[in-house]
Structure formats: structure tokens, C-alpha cells
Chain A
Amino acid sequence: MSADIALNENKTKPPKKEKYYVQTIRRVLKNKLAVFGIIIIFIQVILAIFAPLLVNYGPYVQDLSQTKLGIGAEGHFLGTDNYGRDMWSRLVYGARISLIVGLAAVGIGLIGGIALGLISGYYKKLDGIIMRIVDLLFAFPGILLAMLIIAMLGTSLVNVVIAISIWSIPGCARIVRGSVLSVKKQEYILAMKSVGASDIRIIFKHILPNCTAPIIVFATMRMATAILSTAALSFLGLGAQPPTPEWGAMIAAGQDFMWDAPHMSIIPGIAIMLTVFAFNVVGDGLRDALDPNMNLDM
């Protein structure tokens, strides 16, 4: 057989190529802002995991003799709130709540959104119905939808998760559907059909992995929104209830003392801002890095 020509051509290529995800990470790390975001997220994750080891006082421990201490006070370097609870401790435990609520809400939202997106992208007949339902969800302002859901289910962090995840579904479904529509027209899907693969196999094994890039970007950006919305709902009294050390609830508690203890609102405010900013810039960085049209050696 005269295969040698083609074979030799192949041998000249470098023997070991870098894996795709290694390349992607490398590209993200070239983006300075994204690196800054990754560091902040990393710190937050560390704080959330090791919270009990990092604090001297529990987040609920009150010391009424030491209320509203300012930043830099002895023993409480971020001060205390109006019940004498350690701000640092509450901040660290708040990071835990923010991350868990964000991850849970985005996770549930992704599962629902991916399922709906795959179905409506692949089956033309169901597309119309599903997309009209999605349109309906889009027509509500997000925070209003979340408030409506919480009004029905009652105020609690679990219900905040449910509300935010439902609100994440339509966006995710749209993005996944778009990718499916373009992927399913590719010849390799027809080729897979021609070797006898079933619809389920094609959808989950062959189409879904081709849609991961936009899903990853969406999930990262959505984390920022989810954390911000959790804080907003808690601030309004619809999410975490006192004395839970949730950042939004902490801002709400501090607003009565803006003049004599501004750090009670400012510290959790800065925490929310930094976290949201971090997730957004990382999402941006990922989008640039995963975009196949970007120059590879950027």
C-alpha cells in the first residue's frame, strides 16, 4: 500500500502536543486582569474552606462590651458590629455562604438550562415551545422574578438558591441551543449518525462536549450575578435572615449605623464588589481564551 507519503508527513510534526485545556489556561494567565480575578476567587475559596481555622471568634459570638469597634481595634482587626461580633469572622463565614449559594444556584440553573437547550436545539419540533417558555422567563426582570418566587416559597437561603437558579435557566438554555444548532449541522454529527449512533448518544456524547466553551464562560459570569443577587435579596430581607453572616444582610444591618460605624456596611460591600468583579474578569478572560477565532499565540 502506498501510505508512506502521508505517514512521513505526519512524522515531521512535533511528537507531543499540549493538551487543549493546558493551552487555554496558558492563554487565560496572559490576561493580567483575569489573573487578578483568579487570585481573588482563590483567596475567597481558601477563606470559605478554612473559615473555622482563620478566626478567633465565632460569627455569632456577641460581646456587648465591645460594640462598633473600628477597623484596627485590638483583637478585632476589622472591628466589631453593633452586637460586638467580630467583623472578620462574619466576613469569612459570609464568603462561605456566598460561594455555596452561588455554586448551587448556578449548578442547578446549568442543569436545567443545558437540558432545555440541548432538547430545543436538537429537536426542531420542541424548539418553538421551549423557546417561547424561555421568552416568557426573559420577559420578567430577573430580580423581580426572584422576588416573586421567594414571595411564594418564603424567605430563606434555600429559596434564594431556587429563585436564582430558575432565573439562570433561560440564559443558559439560549446559549446552549445556539451552540447545538451550529454543531448539529456539522458533518461529524452526520458521520456519527451514519455509523448508527442514537439521538441520546449523539446529543450527550458528541454535541454537548462541543458546547462546553460557552457554557464555562456563562457559568463564570453567572456566578457573579448569583452572588450579587443573593446579596441584594438578603439586603432586602428576602434571603438570609439575621443573624446569618451573609454579606448583603450585613450591609443592611450596618446601614442604621452609617455615621458612627461605617465599616459595618463598607467591609461587606467591598467584599461583594471584589468578588463580583473577580468572577466577571475571569469570565471575560475565559471567553477570550476559549474563542477559537483568537490568535493562538496571543
Chain B
Amino acid sequence: MEQLLQVDNLVTQFRTAKGKLKAVRGISFSVKAEETLCIVGESGCGKSITSLSIMGLLPSNGEISQGSIRLGNEELVGKSDERLREFRGNKMSMIFQEPMTALNPVFTIGFQLREPLRIHKNMTKKEATAKSIDILTKVGISSPEKMLNQYPHELSGGMRQRVMIGMALACEPSLLIADEPTTALDVTIQAQILDLIDTLKSEMGMGVVFVTHDMGVVAEVADRVMVMYAGEVVEVGTVDELFSNPGHPYTKGLLAAVPNVDDVDQDLSIIPGSMPSLDDQITGCRFHSRCPYAMDVCKEKTPPSFKVSGTQEVKCWLQEVDNNGKSTTSSGSGEIKEILSN
């Protein structure tokens, strides 16, 4: 199947007082139509910057210094802001984390919903209003005519997030980027919003990039999962592979940190240490200082991506195997296998 979004070797850096710092370090991934790719990772691992890079909405001191982002047949990197504007809202859209602040408080819902339609489809106010009613119905609002005249402060968080989704999908984009769209909502509303995004995805045939740090959400919505750590992709795989057979110690750590509701007495598992800051110079694997399985080679050489299966790739020396399928890692591979199988 044709790839909808193809990101190759993307490097995004920021000009700061400490010089140019890389927030995203050469990541590659792709999304097909009607597929949900979840990007998972701790705060500060580059998830949001990746999505802003795709949208071309980086803060003014950020820039894409390398790599390519292709949406359909169009290369987005290097396009002028004016050209990118034709894509934003039209071919690709984004929804944000905070529905409370993502709607302009001084305008009615109707005004804000009409904006993308008037920008991209040159609709008259009347046409746009009719279409807005359509959209609101689609995102599950029962009295859309009434809502058009309401102000954001009159709506609950879940309702606002529905409006945001409606705004993003008004022009039926082929790619939706959802940056933690449920983090600020309470859990019952979360489930509704996830359902809604999923339904609309198959209805409109969109590809979805879903940024989150909630493993529960991942299990719910993802087709494929990409785990990021300190600006790099450490593991990619289908959601089944990742949950049943996580390859990277960091992924294992994330999964172990998910609390188990059935076990009242459990101590929450944590990954010791914290994410390196952007200006830390790290040789070898970026995770080695926190990794329980770190070997000598991890401190010296950056691991390449090892293919574990047709769809799963892991960036970790533990996965290094020779042509015969045997692990080639120097220090006691049997022992490592044992640790991993636990």
C-alpha cells in the first residue's frame, strides 16, 4: 500500500544560547492511509517537536536541518510558509493537548469552525455554516445549530475537544496529527474521544499520527507504535509485537511502569535516572546510562536498527544477531537472552 506520510532521517534543531541543539535526531517513519501510528515517549523526547516539524509550525528558533517529509507525493521540507499553508488544515491537520486553550475565547464556535472552510474552500458564510453543522453532527454533537452560537467557555472540555477535532477535519485532510488529545480530559471522556478519532479515521480514510505517553491509550488506538527516547526512535513495531515482545529495554521499562489495577499492593516500577538534556554529549547508545542491560559496546558505539521481524525494528545492541540467527554480542549472550525472556 502507498505510504501516506514518509519521514526520512528528520533532524530538527533549535538555536539557543548554548548553540544549536538537536531535539530530533535523524528519525524515519511512515504512516499509511487508515493507519494509526502512536508516537510514545517521556516528556521531552521529541514527540511534539516531530509533529510540529511535520506541520511546519516549529517555534521561530527551530528549524529542520536535514531529512525529508513527504505527504503523498509532495515534499514538505523546504517549502515556503505560503505553500505550506495550503497543506495545513487542508491535507494535514493537528489537534492539540489542551482543548481549554485551543479555542479563541472571544469568538463563537461557529466562527471558528467556519475559518478553515473559508480559508481553503472559499465558501461563503452560508455554505460554511451549513458545512459546520454537518461537521458538528459528525463529531457527535446533538444540537449543532445551538452550539454554533455558543462561546468556548460555555462548553465542557470534552465538547471543546470535539469542536477542535471538527475544526481539524473540516476540510477532510488525509493526515491527522493528534498531539496528546486526551491528556487533559478525564478518563470517561478520553474513551469517547479515542472512539471518535478511530471512527472518523476509517470513515475518512485518514492516516493518524497519535502522540501520547499513555500506554493505555496506545493499546486502545494504535496499529503501529514508535517509541522515542531523547530524540531518537528506539523501537518500532505493530502494537501486538510491542506489547507482547518488547525488544528495547526502554520499551520494557515503559510497559513495566504501567500500573496494574488488579494489584493493590504493587510498587510502581520506574526507570531510574532521567532523560538527558538536549546539550548532553552522549557517545554510544543514548539510553545506556539508564539501561539495566548496558554493556561495554553500548557506551562506545551507537546501535543501528536491528530488524526483529518484518515490522519490528529495535535500536539496541542486545538484538544484534549474526547470519545464523545467533546473538553476536560479546559478553555472554545466553545470559542476556535469559534476562530478556524474564
Contact = CB atoms under 8 A, between A and B. Distances in A.
A126 to B, nearest CB: 13
Interface in A22-71: none
B115 interface: yes
Given A2-B195, A196-B90, A210 B159 contact: no
B67 interface: no
B196 A1 contact: yes
A65 to B, nearest CB: 62
Given A190-B96, A196-B85, A196-B88, A210 B104 contact: yes
B140 A3 contact: yes
A209 B195 contact: no
Contact of B158 (A6, A187, A201, A210): A6
A148 interface: no
A294 interface: no
Interface string B179-193: 000000000110110
Contacts of B141: 3, 7
Contacts of A6: 156, 158-159, 162, 189, 192
Given A7-B141, A188-B101, A210-B104, A195 B89 contact: yes
B142 A191 contact: no
Interface stretch (A9-17, A154-162, A217-225, A245-253): A9-17
Contacts of A193: 57, 88
A14 to B, nearest CB: 9
A100 interface: no
Q: Which of A5, A6, A209 has the most CB of B within 10 A?
A: A6
Contacts of A4: 142
Interface string B141-161: 111000000010011101100
Contacts of A132: none
B96 A187 contact: yes
Nearest to A19: B151
B140 A194 contact: no
B60 A124 contact: yes
Given A1-B196, A197-B119, A209-B106, A9 B156 contact: yes
Nearest to A5: B188
Contacts of B189: 5-6
Contacts of B155: 10
B167 A196 contact: no
Nearest to B189: A6
Chain A binding surface SS class: helix
Contacts of B142: 3-4, 7
Interface string B83-101: 0011111100110101001
Contact of A198 (B60, B85, B87): B85
A195 B115 CA distance: 8
Interface string B31-68: 00000000000000000000000010100100000000
Nearest to A207: B104
A153 interface: no
Given A5-B192, A6-B159, A206-B104, A195 B154 contact: no
A190 B159 contact: no
A164 B144 CA distance: 49
A181 B282 CA distance: 37
A186 interface: yes
A194 B101 contact: no
Contacts of B103: 188, 191
B247 interface: no
A124 B82 CA distance: 19
Interface in A161-208: 186-188, 190-198, 201, 206
B332 to A, nearest CB: 51
Given A9-B156, A210-B106, A196 B89 contact: yes
Contacts of B90: 196
B88 A195 contact: yes
B170 interface: yes
B196 A195 contact: no
B164 interface: yes
Nearest to A192: B115
B192 A3 contact: yes
Contacts of B20: none
Contacts of B162: 3, 6
Given A195-B115, A195-B170, A198-B85, A188 B104 contact: yes
A196 B86 contact: yes
Contacts of B60: 124
A86 to B, nearest CB: 49
A1 B139 CA distance: 9
B168 interface: yes
Q: Which of B115, B162, B164, B167 has the most CB of A within 10 A?
A: B115
Nearest to B173: A195
Minimum-distance CB pairs A-B, first 4: A195-B89, A3-B140, A196-B89, A196-B88
12 contacts: A3-B192, A5-B192, A6-B189, A17-B154, A186-B104, A188-B101, A191-B96, A194-B93, A194-B96, A196-B85, A196-B88, A196-B89
Given A20-B106, A186-B101, 13 more contacts: A1-B140, A1-B196, A2-B192, A5-B188, A6-B192, A7-B141, A7-B143, A124-B60, A191-B94, A196-B120, A197-B89, A210-B104, A210-B105
